[in-house]
Structure 1
Amino acid sequence: MENVFTILMKSYLREKGLVNFQIESFNEFVEKRLPKLIKSIGKIKPELPEIGELEIKLGKFELGEPRVKEADGSIRKIYPMEARIRNLTYSAPMYVEMTQVLNGIESKPTMVEIGDLPIMVKSKFCPLSRMSRKELIEIGEDPDDPGGYFIINGTERILMLVEEIATDRIIVEKTKDSSVPQIARIHSEREGFVQKHLIERKRTGEIYITFANIRRIPIVIILKALGLEKDKEILEAISLDERIQESFLINILEFPIKNGEEAIDELGKYLRIPQKSMRKKQAIRMIDKYLLPHIGQEPENRLAKAMFIAKAIEKILKLHLGEIEEDDVDHYANKRIKMAGDLLELLLRSILLGKWGLIVRMNYNYQKLVKRGKLPPLQAVVENAILTNQIVSAMAVGSWIGGRTGVTQRLERSSWNKTITHMRNIVSPLSSTQEHFEARELHPTHFGKLCVTQTPEGANIGLRKYLAISATITPKIDKKDITPILELLDSVKVKK
């Protein structure tokens, strides 16, 4: 007779699986994030004075079935085993609906192939996910294979689970630097990109903020540029506690800015732009686009940004006054795990919108191909092979956006247990060549989430972790989906 633990584990594994979180992350990326990314681009407007005003509208996104292009030009369906044997990439074509509007006249919408996307084995877009055990055996597949990996040039590769500091929250710490005893860190995330902010309180009481490569701007300048123009408004936004207000007062006395206009001009000086008009324009762009982008990137979001910064100041001053303890960065509530969908979104966003991305190349190709007033077909303008090669190259080498390396690894196949262990491996972005003693140590919050005994010896000890057997990872929830719930809880006066 089976004991209770065995029954529970079997039930859990049937429902959740060991690598299902990676498969669900990939499914969500294709079904929601990629269409949302295409929608965010909206329109492309090439500059073509030879033929008039041209606009390309981007519509729905579709993903085809995994396929292979043969040497004779024929195209047919492919299964993972053939991709392994023939050293092929197991991928499917991506299509985007495009409509040309020339001088106000709209042409018929066309589904244009923009490139191939590697398909995760056993995902919703892989035929294996719809097959029975018998059918899997007939095509040469292991029916007990969990899936959750890619086949790139015939090699099975996985996207690693990457541990990062939680975004969009204020983390305050004490430092060993006597001149800057307290700091606050904010990692603001929008659409996959993270903008790091550092707020520093000097020993003498002045508070500065660093973001977007602009170093040490007095915090009062930022608050007044965001709309808190009166000194009283700033103090009340930070706190109603007189002790905290008194601790901040030196900043108002040290940087006597009269109004928002003066604050924006002063902020522009930190950008080292000599012309006043350009200085103002660039300063406004910096606070709208790069300051706390998770709150928003429009002028109407400025006051909300000011209130968020005010709360960060309150927290750093409470730490200074001994009213609160510093945040534990190694607490697992302050960590988040990036899965396959998160990493692929970051890659595709860069490939589509980057300096030499698809949109830039489309503009260039239009200008190159437009001759004698004739408009080239859309498929001739879209270089789908280049986009495919960029994706495959990144996944084959493991070099990712932001200079990160080792994001993909060859799947360990020496035994079934090692395969599962490798796919539940969590890597830290911290360098293995540095000490990071606290980050390497076992933390009480790891229990139940991470295996407390398994970690490699040597330089990676403590930096490479493994999920506990009954641990799973929940997908990121869109803030729009939880806003009604938060409003409901607020209306019934639920205490935090």
Structure 2
Amino acid sequence: MRDLTYASPIFLEIMPTINGIEREQEEVFIGELPIMVKSKPCHLYGLGKNELIDMGEDPLDPGGYFIVNGTEKVLISLEDLVPNRVIVSKDSAKGIIISKVFSTRFGFRARCSIERTKDGKLQLTFPAAPPSMPIIPFLRILGLKTDKEILNAFSDSPTIRSDVLYNIELDQAKSYDEALDLIGRKAAPGQAREFRLKRAEILIDTYLLPHLGTEPEARVLKAKYLVGMLEKAILVANGKMSADDRDHYMNKRVRLAGELMQDLFRYAFQFLIKDVTYQVERSVARGRRITAKTAIRPDALSDRIKYALATGNWIAGQTGVSQMLDRTNFFATNSHLRRLISPLSRRHPHFKARDLHGTHWGRACIAETPEGPSCSLVKNYALMAEVSMPTAATDDSAVIRFIRTKNVKEKEE
């Protein structure tokens, strides 16, 4: 296809502001975005059999792929653990209980976990922070400043209160200021006190459970969320609750082409912004006059999107996401479009992840999988499987409104 790319141009409305004065708004071409064949922006969308034949197209072609540099590319669906949900697991080798959540916000994915050791210590780990920090100082910073407030935040279960009291006794910080300084000294050792305190606040607001918010107002909500994670970990450690099954499809989500392209575009657009900033700063330093059209290089956005689709090297180090569409026959094409891969490494056994699970029935084909290292890590959708998308019908607020119609009393805080 002569190295052609089926893509649509992208225009951005820019209003330059110089010395606080807004200038005339411009519409600038910033690059091209590849279009999926037979998607809504595609010219073939919604056409009937006879219309497709008149246009010289195969009416049986399923679509769902991209054309990049003259090659048909398909984005393979990724199977991953559900974001923003607490999952409790046991590490038998180390004898610890892990209560973790993949907190996801606008493409940023933060793994926040609480560990309960053999001797009952409760430790918190999250991105950009020192590992295995004691949990009590974080609860003080998040709004539960006194020992009484921390204890009252938990349920009346003697098992839970026993662990919490033990960790309160081990806590070195007994106030909000001491807790903030303790975390600051571990997060930024050797720095000035003001810098340490500011660093501790940034860690808690930005990297701890970002899906609940990144403003100081969200700290109380984060404290309640951590309390729930702690209670589940303690109950599992004491045999009062069973650990979650990570291989259950209730705890899995499928990332389709739309979400993968969204992440890729966000990454490429952020690079474009950095490139525009560099071009403007360089022109100002040289005393040159610059406009919105001269500051933007469309290749900065388009090249990164095309490179990822052409090579399969996605953001966050993922490989094999984009593959050349198998056109051996009609069945091979449909099978390739319905493929599902796991992010787990092919080099390790992962026996439990490879086992056939009861929840695969009706969702993933129990027979179609390759032999060798990829066995059961590369799957295909079942014949009649459907992937549901988040809509107004699946929104939590709609569920809450329905529950309230059944005269359910809300728990007082």
Q: TM-score normalised to the size of structure 2?
A: 0.94
Check if 1:467 corresponds to 2:384. no
Check if 1:264 corresponds to 2:180. yes
CA root-mean-square deviation: 2.0
- For the 8 Å contact 2:188–2:199, the answer to whether it is kept is no
Aligned-residue offset at 1:344: 1.2
Check if 1:306 corresponds to 2:223. yes
In structure 2, distance between residues paired with 1:130 and 1:323: 54
Check if 1:429 corresponds to 2:346. no
Report how many aligned residue pairs link the two structures: 408
In structure 2, distance between residues paired with 1:166 and 1:481: 16
Match of 1:438 in 2: 352
Q: 1:246-395 alignment to 2 at 5 Å?
A: 246-274=162-190, 275-353=192-270, 357-370=271-284, 375-395=289-309
- For the 8 Å contact 1:192–1:342, the answer to whether it is kept is no
Q: 1:59-70 alignment to 2 at 5 Å?
A: none
Match of 1:218 in 2: 134
Which of the numbers 90, 97, 105 marks the counterpart of 1:190?
105
- Structure 1's unaligned 5+ residue stretches are 1-84
1:54-94: CA deviations, max 9, x gaps? xxxxxxxxxxxxxxxxxxxxxxxxxxxxxxx2221111111
- Secondary structure class of the residue paired with 1:215: coil
Check if 1:199 corresponds to 2:114. yes
Paired letter, 1:467: Y
- Secondary structure class of the residue paired with 1:283: helix
Alpha-carbon distance change, 403 to 119 in structure 1, aligned in 2, over 3 angstroms: same
Aligned-residue offset at 1:225: 1.4
Sequence identity percentage? 39
In structure 2, distance between residues paired with 1:162 and 1:293: 23
- For the 8 Å contact 2:81–2:252, the answer to whether it is kept is yes
Alpha-carbon distance change, 372 to 151 in structure 1, aligned in 2, over 3 angstroms: closer
Aligned-residue offset at 1:204: 0.9
- For the 8 Å contact 1:92–1:116, the answer to whether it is kept is yes
- For the 8 Å contact 2:275–2:300, the answer to whether it is kept is no
1:206-230: CA deviations, max 9, x gaps? 1101111420110111111111111
Paired letter, 2:112: H
Check if 1:156 corresponds to 2:76. no
- For the 8 Å contact 2:159–2:234, the answer to whether it is kept is no
- For the 8 Å contact 1:234–1:310, the answer to whether it is kept is no
Aligned-residue offset at 1:177: 2.7
- For the 8 Å contact 2:121–2:167, the answer to whether it is kept is yes
Paired letter, 2:88: V
Match of 2:92 in 1: 176
Check if 1:102 corresponds to 2:18. yes
- For the 8 Å contact 1:193–1:346, the answer to whether it is kept is no
- Secondary structure class of the residue paired with 1:197: strand
- Secondary structure class of the residue paired with 1:116: strand
Aligned-residue offset at 1:494: 4.8
Paired letter, 1:392: K
- Secondary structure class of the residue paired with 2:79: strand
Alpha-carbon distance change, 374 to 105 in structure 1, aligned in 2, over 3 angstroms: farther
